[in-house]
Amino acid sequence: MKIPFNKPYFAGKEIQNIVNAAYWGHISGNGVFTQQCHDFFEERYGFQKCFLTTSCTDAFEMAVMLMDLQAGDEVILPSFTFVSTANPFLLKGAKIVFADSMENHPNIDLGKVEALINEKTKVLVVMHYGGMAVDMDKAVELAEKHKLILLEDTAHAIDSFYKGKPLGSFGDFAAFSFHETKNVSAGEGGMLAINNNKYIERAEIIWEKGTNRAAFSRGEIKKYEWVDVGASFLPSDIIAGVLFAQLENIDDIQRKRIAIWERYYQGLKHLEEKGLVKLPRLPEYATNNGHLFYLQADNRKQRDEMLNFLNNNRVHAVFHYLPLHSSPFYTPQHDGRALTNADRFAETILRLPFFYELPLDIIDMICEKVAEFYHS
Ligand SMILES: *Cc1c(COP(=O)(O)O)cnc(C)c1O
């Protein structure tokens, strides 16, 4: 049997929570479990206001609706990321200006961002790759200096920190994912965290299809009405129940995943010392949250050969992110700047199997396979 790349993990109380939601008679959105999930994030990480969504992509769309962008407004975001970081802005007719990765890290190179800012620039998006923090002092400083809205793509970054402060608490907005490949999962799911008061009241309305139903549910108004634009962003309380079962076990999940990450690192260090591979470099201001493990080959050819070798040896390894600026969809619209670091990470990164139940001795075996590739 092949070692899968990912395997969903169930912490224990997921099914019981689904049964409870049904028993309580409220399985649509914004029920008991949704509230518990919101409280969890607001209390544990200090996010000002949280809204569960059906995906991280949806959390992005909700954030973009709140930003009130005009056609022609510009958004700066990294090329080395997932399409969901970019797509929602295009729905509003905004123009995307892609930024390169750092020389020695897949995260956005903030040192090169200022040159991309002009009077049309409205938003700066950062994505914490592998849950490893972007330099948020610098990101916040840039956003404040140029009056930009700051959005953190925290799809990888649950329970991770920058100089001790939780990722997702810096941006005006942060978008989380609970897709089955993420640390904490509801199958599909996401959340928008908002840390700027001026967006919160309207967010509640947009979240509920443009109505003031949330205020109505709290008994604050007598009837609920159509008061703004909106969409259906809230997930069923069944989904929230699954998510809450995971959140209650987050410390155990994180401990386990960080141990997996460390095991890979220790098992592959000798290859890095021999100059054969590059392992992830954790910036001194960042924490590792055990989201994913990658290594870097010398070049694309070697990476692709290693991918083949591992997959032929029953290890499901994968590449990561084709840079968005050179995608079939966006190439004709990109301004032509070469983004060589993003290209290089896309060509050389190889991701190894990573999931809660991955046994440590299997990790050792995978590390041996990688070593075998280099010795063959
Ligand atoms: C997974 C992911 C998303 C999208 O998450 P969904 O919940 O599947 O919409 C967005 N950005 C990044 C960086 C991701 O890895």
Q: What is the pLDDT of residues 293-333, one digit of tens each?
A: 999 999 999 999 999 999 999 999 999 889 999 999 999 99
| Integer Cα distance of 161 and 276 in angstroms | 30
pLDDT of 13? 97
- pTM equals 0.97
Pairing of strands 165-166, 173-177: unpaired
Contact 153, 123 (CB under 8 A): no
Pocket test for ligand 1, best of 81, 82, 242 (most atoms within 8 A of CB): 82
Q: What is the pLDDT of residues 166-190, one digit of tens each?
A: 999 999 999 999 999 999 999 999 9
Position 376 pLDDT exceeds 90: no
Residue of the CA atom closest to atom 14 of ligand 1: 155
Position 25 pLDDT exceeds 90: yes
pLDDT of 36? 98
Query: Hey, is 64 helix, strand or coil?
Result: helix
* Domain 14-247: top CATH class: alpha beta
Phi-psi region of 112 (alpha: psi -120 to 50; beta: other; left: phi over 0): alpha
State the closest ligand 1 atom to the C-alpha of 188, by its place in the atom list counted from 1. 7
Beta strands in the chain (DSSP E): 49-53, 74-78, 95-99, 121-127, 149-153, 161-162, 165-166, 173-177, 190-194, 294-296, 349-351
Q: What is the pLDDT of residues 27-81, one digit of tens each?
A: 999 999 999 999 999 999 999 999 999 999 999 999 999 998 998 999 999 999 9
pLDDT of 154? 98
110: which 2 tokens? 């903030």
pLDDT of 1? 87
| Integer Cα distance of 178 and 94 in angstroms | 27
- Within 6 A (CB) of ligand 1 lie 55-57, 81-82, 84-85, 127, 153, 155-156, 177, 179, 190
CA of 221 to the centre of ligand 1 (A): 36
Taking all residues of the chain, what is their mean pLDDT, rounded to a whole number? 96
Pairing of strands 173-177, 149-153: parallel
CA of 177 to the centre of ligand 1 (A): 6
Position 116 pLDDT exceeds 90: yes
CA of 193 to the centre of ligand 1 (A): 15
* pLDDT tier, 217 (very low <50, low <70, confident <90, very high otherwise): confident
**Would you list the domain boundaries of the chain?**
14-247, 250-375
61: which 2 tokens? 């769309």
Within a 13 Å sphere around the CA of 228, how many CA atoms are in the beta-carbon half?
A: 19
DSSP-derived secondary structure for 222-287:
SS--B-S---B-PPPHHHHHHHHHHHTTHHHHHHHHHHHHHHHHHHHHHHHHTTS-B-----TTB-
Contact 253, 246 (CB under 8 A): yes
Evaluate whether the domain defined by 250-375 bears CATH number 3.90.1150.10.
yes
Pocket test for ligand 1, best of 6, 179, 242 (most atoms within 8 A of CB): 179
